[in-house]
């Protein structure tokens, strides 16, 4: 029995996808639910699993093609995967042997970007030691393996060229490399330009003294992790403080739709995270109903899915307010761009010890600059400033978060 492998239904508002890479070749056996191919949309990478065990008899769409929901991708001949089933001759490549110490390893978790890198260099995932969460392999792990593997093949006395670097004996190589934007990068570019052309964006700044927050984290960090199984991070403080400030200033939690303002009585907070594929903003819903531990657990789950490439479109849509933390990359101050149709975004930055005047004395304090970019069409400057001051007040006196004042 033959089975048609088709493009699955795409997320709402997504019209097409790009076929990134096949993981199986014609004539190759596949197991039920094994990933056959990756499809990239504007926001996420979708994996197309095999509905039954069998053998790929035909591939209809090649890498790089644009497809829509329902398009035929391949033909699968149903049946038990035969031990003799092998890739077609043109796909057969001799694999490097994995070290003996790796043979006992179970399935290795990799993102689509890492799998493509492994395929490019004809590597098996079990050959690389992952340094990511739960042993996940990162791009840096693959490059480190390639470098060490290349060095080990050099005879004594010889020098090993760096991986991917052209060795030039005369003069200096001048090269250019032209590559198309990924769909995600193109979509990010489109949304950022659209935000600048549509909204009347303005940014207001303030600074916050994080002495009390840092003392609270230090005092209860170990007990918190022991009780809840997650670490107590800074983001939960900022998210909870944002929610309380949003309650006081509903316009900051609103969005614009045509000539209407949509006010939301719920608090779905988007948290910008960096991934191998670019910036993503997964949404944590109903943050006002969460404990600190609930929020930290949800944030860890979302960040893991973003890194693994398993995040869904539902995870990335529907937020009412966004927080971005450039401080993890060393940013001192920035003006974040709105994540439309939201009307505001909070920017966090690096924590630095700075001299401050406290009770007439100059003392060193852990300070952070905060920025709120807002849509001036529906938020007045007074509201934006008071909103940011509310966040500052709660972080400088965290007991306010407990008392919700």
* Interval 215-270: pLDDT, tens: 999 999 999 999 999 999 999 999 999 999 999 999 999 998 888 999 999 999 99
Q: What is the CATH number of domain 183-403?
A: 3.30.559.10
| pLDDT value of residue 318 | 87
Q: Report which secondary-structure segment, H or E, holds 114.
A: helix 112-120
Known catalytic residues? Answer: 376, 380
Average pLDDT, the chain: 82
DSSP string, 225-242: HHHHSS---HHHHHHHHH
Q: What average pLDDT does this structure show over 60-66?
A: 87
pLDDT at residue 8 above 60?
yes
Of 278 and 85, the structure prediction assigns the larger pLDDT to: 278
Which three-class secondary structure string do you get for 76-112? EEECCCCCCCCCCHHHCCCCCCCCHHHCCCCCCCCCH
Contact of 245 with 263, CB cutoff 8 Å: no
CATH number assigned to the domain with residue range 1-92, chosen from the 4 options 1.10.1040.10, 3.40.109.10, 3.40.50.2000, 2.40.50.100: 2.40.50.100
| Half-sphere exposure for 72 (CA within 13 Å, toward CB) | 9
CATH superfamily of 96-170: E3-binding domain (4.10.320.10)
As given in the structure block, the two tokens for residue 113 are: 């970007």
| pLDDT value of residue 194 | 82
| pLDDT value of residue 237 | 96
Return the minimum-mean-pLDDT range out of 32-36, 237-241, 385-389.
Answer: 32-36
As given in the structure block, the two tokens for residue 340 are: 């439309």
- What tens digit of pLDDT does each residue of 287-309 get? 999 999 999 999 999 988 888 77
Q: Report which secondary-structure segment, H or E, holds 281.
A: none
Q: pLDDT-derived band of residue 167, with 50, 70 and 90 as boundaries?
A: very low
- What tens digit of pLDDT does each residue of 153-165 get? 444 444 444 444 4
| pLDDT value of residue 284 | 95
Does the fold of domain 183-403 match that of domain 1-92?
Answer: no
| pLDDT value of residue 40 | 81
Q: How far apart are CA 287 and CA 267, in angstroms?
A: 6
Q: Report which secondary-structure segment, H or E, holds 40.
A: strand 35-40
- What tens digit of pLDDT does each residue of 73-117 get? 999 988 766 443 444 444 333 444 444 433 434 456 566 667 767
| pLDDT value of residue 94 | 41
| pLDDT value of residue 117 | 72
| pLDDT value of residue 132 | 67
Q: How far apart are CA 391 and CA 333, in angstroms?
A: 17
Report DSSP state, residue 342. Answer: B
Percent of the chain with pLDDT over 70: 82
Contact of 241 with 395, CB cutoff 8 Å: yes
Q: Parse the chain into domains and list their residue ranges.
A: 1-92, 96-170, 183-403
Of 394 and 85, the structure prediction assigns the larger pLDDT to: 394
Report the predicted TM-score, pTM, of the whole model to 2 decimal places. 0.65
Contact of 326 with 335, CB cutoff 8 Å: no
DSSP string, 3-27: EEEEPPPPPTT---EEEEEESS-TT
């Amino acid at each position: 029995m033959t089975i048609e492998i088709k493009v699955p239904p795409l997320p709402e508002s997504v019209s097409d996808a790009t076929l990134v890479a096949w993981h199986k070749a014609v004539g190759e056996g596949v197991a039920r639910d094994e990933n056959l191919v990756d499809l990239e949309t504007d926001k996420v990478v979708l994996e197309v699993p095999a509905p039954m065990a069998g053998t790929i008899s035909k591939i209809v769409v090649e890498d790089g093609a644009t497809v829509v929901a329902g398009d035929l991708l391949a033909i699968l001949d149903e049946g038990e995967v035969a031990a003799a089933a092998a890739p077609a001759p043109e796909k057969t490549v001799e694999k490097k042997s994995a070290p003996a110490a790796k043979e006992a390893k179970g399935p290795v978790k990799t993102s689509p970007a890492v799998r493509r890198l492994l395929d490019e260099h004809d590597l098996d995932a079990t050959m690389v030691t992952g340094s990511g969460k739960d042993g996940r392999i990162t791009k840096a792990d693959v490059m480190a393996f390639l470098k060490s593997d290349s060095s080990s093949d050099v005879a004594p006395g010889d020098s090993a060229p760096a991986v991917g670097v052209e060795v030039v004996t005369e003069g200096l190589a001048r090269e250019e490399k032209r590559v198309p934007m990924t769909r995600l990068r193109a979509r990010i570019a489109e949304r950022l330009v659209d935000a600048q052309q549509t909204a009347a964006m303005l940014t207001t700044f303030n600074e916050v003294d994080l002495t009390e927050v840092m003392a609270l984290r230090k005092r209860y960090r170990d007990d918190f992790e022991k009780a809840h199984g997650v670490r107590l991070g800074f983001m939960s403080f900022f998210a909870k403080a944002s929610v309380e400030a949003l309650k006081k200033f509903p316009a900051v939690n609103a969005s614009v739709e045509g000539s209407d303002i949509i006010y939301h009585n719920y608090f779905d907070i988007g948290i910008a995270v960096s991934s191998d594929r670019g910036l993503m903003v997964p949404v944590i819903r109903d943050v006002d109903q969460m404990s600190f531990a609930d929020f930290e657990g949800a944030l860890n789950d979302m960040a893991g899915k973003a890194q693994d490439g398993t995040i869904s479109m539902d995870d990335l849509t529907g937020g009412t307010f966004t927080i971005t933390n450039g401080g993890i990359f060393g940013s001192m101050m920035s003006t974040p761009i709105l994540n439309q149709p939201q009307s505001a975004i909070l920017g966090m930055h690096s924590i630095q010890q700075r001299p401050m005047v406290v009770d007439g004395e100059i003392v060193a304090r852990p300070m952070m600059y905060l920025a709120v970019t807002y849509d001036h069409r529906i938020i007045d400057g007074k509201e934006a400033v008071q909103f940011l001051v509310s966040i500052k007040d709660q972080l400088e006196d965290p007991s306010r978060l407990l008392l919700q004042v």
